[in-house]
Amino acid sequence: MEFGLIGGKLGHSFSKDIHEQLGAPAYELKELLPEEVGDFLKAREFRGINVTIPYKETVIPYLDEVSERARAIGAVNTIVNDGGRLIGDNTDFGGMVALLRKIGIEVAGKKVLILGSGGTSKTARAVAKSLGAVSVNRVSRAKRDDCITYEEAYAEHSDADVIINTTPVGMYPNGDASPVDLAIFPKLSGVADAIYNPLRTRLVMAAQERGIPASGGLYMLVAQAVLAAAKFLAVCDEGDYSGIGSGSEVEITAATERIFRTISGEKQSVVLTGMPGVGKTTVGKLVAARLGREFVDCDEEIVRRSGCDIPTIFATQGEKAFRNLEAEVIRDLSAQGGKVIATGGGAILRPENVANLRSNGCIFFIDRPIESIAVAPGRPLSTDREALEARYRERYPIYCATCDVSVAGEATAEEIAERILSNVLS
C-alpha cells in the first residue's frame, strides 16, 4: 500500500473517491480486525494512511511521534511514514472547524453537547473548546468519568445551543435511526452530524424541519482528507497529489470546495414526484441521459419484484400491500444514491418514504395543473376524472410541502428536464 485508509468496516467510505480526485497515486481501503492493527503498523509498508472508526485511539501506541494537537485530543486519523518513522496527526480537527463554519454555527459562548465517546467526539470537544464554547459535555450510553448519560443530557442540558453527533447512529445501512429527539432541546441554534452517508441523516432532517442550521459530515470528510493529503506531500513523489498544489491554505480551501461540490453532486439522487400522468418517467429518462446516471421508475421496480402489474396487486392484495412494497423499493433505492428516481403518485403519502428519498436525494415536484392531466388506464386510484381530481386535492399540499424544488409542469418534457438540470448543475 502507498496511501490508504484503515478501519473496521469501510464499505460506505467515500475516501478513495476524494483522494483520487486529489491526485493520489494509489489509494486503498483496508479493513482490519482489531488484532491485525498492530502488525499492520509494525510492518510500515505504506507511505501515508488515514485512520477511521474504531482505530483512532488504537494506533497511538505504535507511533514514533504524535503531533501536539493529536496527543491533546487523544485521537489520530492521519499517519505519515517518514523514512520508517510513523508520525501521527489529527486533521479531523480542521475538518470539524471547516464544517461548523460551512453550516454557519457559532460556538463561542454556547453550550455544546457532543454525542458519542470515541475519537471523533474527542476531536469535537477540542474544537468546541477552541472556538470558545462556554460548556462542553460528551454524551454516552454508559456512565463514565468524562461523559454524561443521555438521561442526564435530557434532564440537565435541555438548554443546549449546539449538538454535534459523532456516533454511528443514523449511518448507512441503518439510516432510519436518530441518536436524540430534538424536541427536547428547544434552544438549539445548530446541529452538525459527522455522518456523511447518507448525506442527510434523520438528525439533520429533523433540525432542518425546525429551521435549525444543520448539515451532515461530507464537508468535514472532504476537508480532513485534503488536510491529510497536505501532510502526505512530505513523502510523495513528484506529481503525486497534484490536486492541492503546494498545499497552501488557499489551495487547500479551493480543493475542499471543488471536491465537496463534485462528491455531493455525484452522491445525491434526483427524485421526481407528482401526480400520475405528469411525465415523471419521460422527464426522468431525459435527465438521467444528460447526467449519465441510472434511471429507476419505482412502479416498474415494484412490478419487477412482485412479478405482477400494479392493478393486480391492488385487486388481489390491496392498497396496503402495494404501499408496503413501494416503501421497500424506495428505501433500497434511496440508500444507494446517485440515481434519477421517478416515484409513484402516492409515494409521498408515507412520511418514511419522504425521509428516505430526502436522505440522499433532492426532490423535484413536477407541478402540472389538474386540467392538463389525462385519465389513463392502469391507475387503480384514479380510474376516472372524479377520482383523479380527488387524488389531486388530497396530495397537492403534500407534494408542495415535501419537495425541495417545485418545477412548473406546463411545458414539454424536454423543457421540464432542462429546468431540473439547471438546478442540479448550478
Contacts of 339 (CB under 8 A, 6+ apart): 269, 270, 288, 293, 294, 295, 296, 333
Which residues of 34-98 form beta strands (DSSP E)?
48-51, 65-66, 78-82, 85-89
3-state SS assignment for residue 33? coil
3-state SS assignment for residue 10? coil
Contacts of 343 (CB under 8 A, 6+ apart): 271, 272, 273, 280, 298, 330, 353, 357
48-51 and 78-82 strand pairing: antiparallel
Closest CA to 25 of 5, 45, 1: 1
Whether 129 sits among the annotated catalytic residues: the reply is no
C-alpha cell at 132: 470558545
C-alpha cell at 379: 391507475
C-alpha cell at 281: 418517467
Orientation angle between helical segments 319-336 and 298-306, nearest 10 degrees:
110
C-alpha cell at 374: 389525462
CA dihedral for 142, 9, 47, 36, sign (positive or negative)? positive
State the Cα–Cα distance between residues 417 and 203, nearest whole angstrom. 31
CA dihedral for 307, 308, 313, 316, sign (positive or negative)? negative
Find the Cα–Cα–Cα–Cα dihedral 169, 400, 407, 368, rounded to 10°. 140
C-alpha cell at 20: 483520487
Residue type, 116: G
Is residue 173 reached through a cis peptide bond, with omega within 30 degrees of 0 on the bond before it? yes
State the Cα–Cα distance between residues 69 and 246, nearest whole angstrom. 23
Find the Cα–Cα–Cα–Cα dihedral 268, 269, 270, 274, rounded to 10°. -130
- Contact between 197 and 12 (Cβ < 8 Å): yes
Catalytic residue (choose from 9, 16, 42, 56):
56
Q: Which DSSP symbol is given to 139?
A: E
Computed on alpha carbons and rounded to an integer, the radius of gyration of the chain in Å comes to 24
- Active site residue ranges: 56
